[in-house]
Amino acid sequence: MPTVTMRVNGAQTSADVPENTLLVDYIREHLRLTGTHVGCDTSQCGACVVHIDGKSAKSCTRLATQCEGSEVLTIEGLAAPNGTLHPLQAAFKEAHGLQCGFCTPGMIMSTLDLLQTNPKPTDPEIRSWLKGNICRCTGYQNIVKAVELAADEMSGS
Partner 1 sequence: MYEFQYAKPSTVADASTTLSADEANQPLAGGQTLIPTIKQRLNAPGTLVDLSGIGELTGITREGSTIVIGAMTTHATVAANATVRDAIPALAKLAGGIGDPQVRNIGTIGGSLANNDPAADYPSAALALNATIKTSTREIPADDYFQGFFTTALEPGELIVSVAFPIPEQAAYGRFEQRASRYPMVGVFVAKTASGIRAAVTGAGQDGVFRCAELETALTSDFSAKAAEAVKVPADDLMSDLHASADYRAALIPIMASRAIAGTA
Ligand X SMILES: Cc1cc2nc3c(=O)[nH]c(=O)nc-3n(C[C@H](O)[C@H](O)[C@H](O)COP(=O)(O)OP(=O)(O)OC[C@H]3O[C@@H](n4cnc5c(N)ncnc54)[C@H](O)[C@@H]3O)c2cc1C
| Sign of the torsion formed by the C-alpha atoms of 10, 155, 107 and 53 | negative
Smaller CB separation from ligand FES, 12 or 30: 30
- Contact call for residue 55 and partner 1 (CB under 8 A): yes
How many Cα neighbours within 13 Å face the side chain of 96? 6
Smaller CB separation from ligand X, 46 or 87: 46
Contact residue for ligand FES among 101, 119, 131, 139 (CB under 6 A): 101
Structural contact between residues 107 and 48, judged by C-beta atoms closer than 8 angstroms: no
- Contact call for residue 50 and ligand FES (CB under 6 A): no
Structural contact between residues 63 and 20, judged by C-beta atoms closer than 8 angstroms: yes
- CA 79 to chain CA mean position, Å: 13
Write the DSSP string, 9-20.
TTEEEEEE--TT
Site residues for ligand FES, 117-136, by CB under 6 A, read 135-136
- Contact call for residue 154 and partner 1 (CB under 8 A): no
- Contact call for residue 43 and ligand FES (CB under 6 A): yes
Site residues for ligand X, 24-53, by CB under 6 A, read 43-44
- Contact call for residue 138 and ligand FES (CB under 6 A): yes
Name the site residues for ligand X (rule: CB under 6 A). Answer: 43-44
